[in-house]
Amino acid sequence: MTRTELFQGLLFSDRQVAVPTLTGDSETNAERTISMTTTRRTLLAGTAAAATGALLTAPASGAPLTAPAAHAHHQPRPKPTIVLVHGAFADASGWNDVATRLIRDGYSVIAPANPLRGVSADAAYLASVLATLSGPMVVVAHSYGGIVTTNAATGNANVRALVYVAAFVPDEGETLLGLQTKYPGSKLNEAALDFRPYGEGLVDGYIKKDVFRDIFAGDVRRSTTDLMWAGQRPADVRTLGEPSGAPAWKTIPSHYLVAREDNVLPAAAQRFMARRAGARVHEVSASHVAMVAQPAVTADLIKRAAS
């Protein structure tokens, strides 16, 4: 019998089935034959159609089986690595509260030490760190770290976004001192600094203890700012006048967090640089160290830039 004849016999045959039933009267356990003309056409038609479809669509011998497109699982896009770059008169610990939030949310975070020896040297160092990281990344910079990042990220295709936190965002040829003094309001001047020679003709600058909190972190607890002052990493004073190179923000999307109460880099200068860079601008009532005073706001901005 052919397969077709077999299916036709299954589909179009009727049969009677003897079913044993129990009655409630004296004829207990008597078997009565119930004529059940149960047409199995509907049930078997569906079964046969499914079997036939399976035969017709089965892959050739040796062909791999693939899941239907409707059941395909799309892999989530990997989260970018977050690179946190500190500025002068500080170290990477200033990012601790921000990094804690990012790590808790599943981001890989690295906060390399910024050498603070000069714009070109520091940018070359940061660029070398970025070159060791695979996959997409978001580079976040504070203060002087902004000019370093602006140079270091240029030409790096893995950098998906830049985030500036009360940071310098120079164009080519501009200097820190020129941007810091472009608008009135900065309290960071020569009188606020202690100078310490560290080599032949080389000098480091530190913010003096008695003005550190007022200039740098006026909205942070004094017990914390005392530690920040004690552990501040100085900047070579040559960084103030060294011109910046080709800026990464001309090709990489950027975000900017303006610190309205900043006594180092006036808020007006921050807004000017952010607008010029085409950055998405956010503002917060904070001192120069907005990431210390407002870590949740800072982390949320970074996550938006990373999404």
What's the alpha-carbon Rg for the chain, to the nearest Å?
A: 36
Q: How far is it, in rounded angstroms, from Cα 169 to Cα 172?
A: 10
**In the chain, which stretches have pLDDT less than 70?**
1-74
Q: What's the pLDDT score for residue 75?
A: 72
137-142/202-207 β-pairing: unpaired
A 10 A CB-CB count for 127 gives 17
If you count them, how many residues does the chain have? Answer: 307
Q: What's the pLDDT score for residue 74?
A: 64
pTM to 2 decimals?
0.77
254-259/280-284 β-pairing: parallel
Q: What's the pLDDT score for residue 199?
A: 86
**140: phi then psi, degrees, rounded to nearest 5:** -115, 130
Distance of CA 168 to the CA centre of its chain: 22
SS (HEC) of the chain: CCHHHHHHHHHHCCCCCCCCCCCCCCCCCCCCCCCCCCCCHHHHHHHHHHHHHHHHHCCCCCCCCCCCHHHCCCCCCCCCEEEEECCCCCCHHHHHHHHHHHHHCCCCEECCCCCCCCHHHHHHHHHHHHHCCCCCEEEEEECCHHHHHHHHCCCCCCEEEEEEECCCCCCCCCCHHHHHCCCCCCCCCHHHEEEEEEECCEEEEEECHHHHHHHHCCCCCHHHHHHHHHCCCCEEHHHHCCCCCCCHHHCCCEEEEEECCCCCCCHHHHHHHHHHCCCEEEEECCCCCHHHHCHHHHHHHHHHHHC
**Residue 196 β-bridge partners:** 204
Q: What's the pLDDT score for residue 234?
A: 97
202-207/193-199 β-pairing: antiparallel
159-165/109-110 β-pairing: unpaired
Question: Amino acid identity of 137?
Answer: M
